[in-house]
Structure 1
Amino acid sequence: MPKIFEDDRTYVLGDPELNFIGNREKLAQWRHRCMGPAYYKLGRKVVYHGRDLNAWANANRTDPSAGEAV
């Protein structure tokens, strides 16, 4: 499976790569609803690990040729 994010990199809010999965507000909504990718809360800073982002993206993969509905 191709990697979207660098596994060994940490991403913080404001990094343009995070806009690939959602804007700042969408990520905040997901955190509030306990949805979305895993994250760390370090004080007031939210940090995402690339490996967690890739795992989340792979878990949400849909293959239309397999007959999976969205």
Structure 2
Amino acid sequence: MADIYDNDRIFFPEDRELRVLGSTEKLAQWRHRNTGPAFIRIGRRIGYHGTDLNAYLNAQRVDPSTEAAQ
């Protein structure tokens, strides 16, 4: 799977690129619940490293050809 996010960049919740994952409120909920992509704390700011975002998205991938028919 191709990377969506630049691996060498830190993304912040207000960055438009993170809208793929959800709203800034959704990201805050995930951080509070310890779910969602890994994040880093830079002082009082929150950042997401591009490699962590790509890893999170790859982990969410579902391949319907390998899913059991129901």
Please give the TM-score of this superposition, normalised by the length of structure 1. 0.91
Taking a change above 3 Å as real, the CA distance of residues 33 and 2 of structure 1, as seen in their structure-2 partners, is: same
Number of aligned positions between the proteins: 69
Matched letter for residue 11 of structure 1:
F
| Partner residue in 2 for 1:5 | 5
Q: Deviations over 1:4-58 (max 9, x none)?
A: 1111111012100001111100000000000000000112100000000000100
Matched letter for residue 10 of structure 2:
T
Percentage of identical aligned residues = 52
Q: Which runs of 5+ in 1 are unaligned?
A: none
Larger radius of gyration: 2
| Partner residue in 1 for 2:36 | 36
1: distance between equivalents of 2:51 and 2:15?
Answer: 16
| Partner residue in 2 for 1:57 | 57
Verify the 8 A CA contact 1:62 1:68 in the aligned structure 2: no
Please give the TM-score of this superposition, normalised by the length of structure 2. 0.91
Q: Which runs of 5+ in 2 are unaligned?
A: none
Cα-Cα RMSD: 1.4
